[in-house]
DNA sequence: ATCATTTCTTAACATTTGTAAAGTATAAAA
DNA sequence: TTTTATACTTTACAAATGTTAAGAAATGAT
């Protein structure tokens, strides 16, 4: 069992049969660098877990690409908007490197949720963990300065800076590339 | 069955026995105006639904009270941080009016989740819906101006402005009270 | 009703951030 | 390698926001 498999099933305690049902329903897919995984105006049919690669989610606002999420190995890629509301998502997900992803269709997952109580609680825990992450990022975004957030980013995900171009980091931090340059110059 | 009860059980399809188990485990509690519902450094034991009243969640940052959430009738009050991690939350929840809340203990809820698959999926849906809300607010916060966000707030929750003082609204929008005054003056 | 307190607005000034443009560095392509 | 394109930094200036302080409005208490 791969580290990714292990991470997926350790989200919540599962019975043997539930583990097999979940992992058995997943398949590995490969994408080239710069591939668009999700696009706006499409209802996304799959949930993905990143085995290898890096992903970026962004919205197209007034003439800008507004980056609001990065995913690396072990992270989940999921349009909750598209998934819950069964409407086209507002986000675009792009793969910044050649990537390998583990995927499972929403339809299959729904079937598993309605059959196995362990998997229903697994899905609950998954959503709850994602919610905490989003909530923490929201609070950080609103009440810390861009300088503090950049320092945190370096501390907590130092590899990200090396793998992602700074224009995307700037957008993610909610400042212009110029301001990010000034922040970086000031921290030296 | 009250409108709040109805809203709670319509989150996800439940069997009769599940509906009864969930609603039967809830109790109504009353709080005075300005009561502190959650405090930092305490692990919160209950989840609340607002029957009547209005609530505000905030963090204490460098000399500021940073408001990041308001709840009104029908909304859920839940410290996911405290709940999932079983650690003290970072947030304080204050009731801005005399309030009536429906509550259920985390412990009871966990028991229901492990017994009834319908309730496990109800809890999943609940977390997923909260996640979408948080995600949307995050994106709004990062990529819209304070003026746009204030206009949206008036459009979508007009009663909020009347029930909550503007310093809290300003904090919620991520700007100073002075800037909010300027925004309001500009929209006339 | 009157007084005291709190909240909101307005103004002046300082600071920060964005925009535009130029230059430098890096990476990709021929 | 040379050329081309892209990404990053720096500068100068404009626009927006924060801070402080003062006055107006609203609220609460006696």
In a domain, B107, yes or no: yes
CB contact under 8 A, A132 and B59: no
On whether residue A140 sits in a domain, the answer given is: no
User: Which residue is closest to D20 in terms of CA–C1' distance?
Assistant: B178
pLDDT at site B188: 62
Predicted confidence band of residue A186 (pLDDT cuts 50, 70, 90): confident
Does residue B12 lie within any of the structural domains? Answer: yes
Nucleotide nearest to A179 (CA to C1'): C17
What confidence tens digit (pLDDT) does each residue in A127-171 have? 999 999 998 888 888 888 899 999 999 999 998 988 999 999 999
Contact A176/B at CB under 8 A = no
- pLDDT, residue B43, reads 84
What secondary structure, in 3-state letters, does chain A show?
CCHHHHHHHCCCCCCHHHHHHHHHCCEEEEECCCCEEECCCCCCCEEEEEEECCEEEEEEECCEEEEEEEECCCCEECCHHHHHHCCCCCCEEEECCCEEEEEEEHHHHHHHHHHCHHHHHHHHHHHHHHHHHHHHHHHHHHHCCHHHHHHHHHHHCHHHHHHCCHHHHHHHHCCCHHHHHHHHHHHC
In a domain, B155, yes or no: no
Q: Is A76 on the interface with B (CB under 8 A)?
A: no
Tens digit of pLDDT for each residue in A54-103?
999 998 877 688 899 999 999 999 987 777 777 777 789 999 999 999 99
Stated length of chain B: 188
User: Is pLDDT at B60 greater than 90 in this prediction?
Assistant: no
* Domain ranges, residue B8: 3-116
Are B98 and B33 in contact by the 8 Å Cβ rule? The answer is yes
A81 near B CB under 8 A: yes
CB–CB contact A135 B80 (8 Å):
yes
What's the structural domain count of chain B?
1
Domain membership of residue A82 (yes or no) is yes
Question: What CATH number is attached to the domain comprising A48?
Answer: 2.60.120.10
* Cβ–Cβ gap A131/B129 under 8 Å: no
B187 near A CB under 8 A = no
Nearest nucleotide (C1') to the CA of residue A184?
D9
Partners of residue B137 in chain A, C-beta under 8 Å: 138
Average pLDDT on B119-145 reads: 92
Higher pLDDT, B84 or B133: B133
Q: Is the CB of A105 under 7 A from strand C?
A: no
- The pLDDT of residue A5 is 96
Candidate ranges A108-112, B35-39, B40-44; pick with highest mean pLDDT: A108-112
Would you state the pLDDT for residue B49? 97
Give the closest-approach CA distance of B31 to chain A in angstroms. Answer: 26
Contact residues on chain B for A83, CB-CB shorter than 8 A: 128
pLDDT value at residue A15: 97
């Amino acid at each position: 069992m791969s580290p990714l498999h292990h991470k997926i099933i350790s989200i919540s305690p599962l019975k043997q049969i539930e583990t097999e049902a979940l992992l058995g329903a997943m398949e590995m897919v490969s994408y080239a660098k710069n591939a668009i995984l999700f696009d706006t105006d499409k209802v996304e049919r799959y949930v993905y877990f990143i085995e290898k690669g890096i992903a970026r989610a962004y919205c197209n606002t007034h003439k800008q690409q507004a980056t609001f999420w990065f995913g690396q190995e072990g992270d989940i890629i999921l349009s909750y908007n598209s998934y819950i509301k069964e409407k086209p998502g507002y986000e675009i997900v792009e793969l910044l490197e050649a990537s390998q992803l583990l995927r499972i269709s929403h339809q299959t997952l729904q079937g598993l949720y309605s059959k196995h109580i362990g998997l229903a609680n697994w899905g609950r825990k998954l959503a709850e963990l994602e919610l905490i992450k989003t909530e923490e990022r929201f609070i950080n975004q609103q009440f810390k300065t861009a300088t503090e957030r950049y320092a945190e980013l370096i501390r907590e995900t130092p590899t990200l800076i090396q793998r992602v171009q700074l224009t995307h980091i700037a957008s993610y931090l909610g400042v212009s590339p110029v301001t990010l340059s000034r922040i970086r110059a000031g921290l030296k």
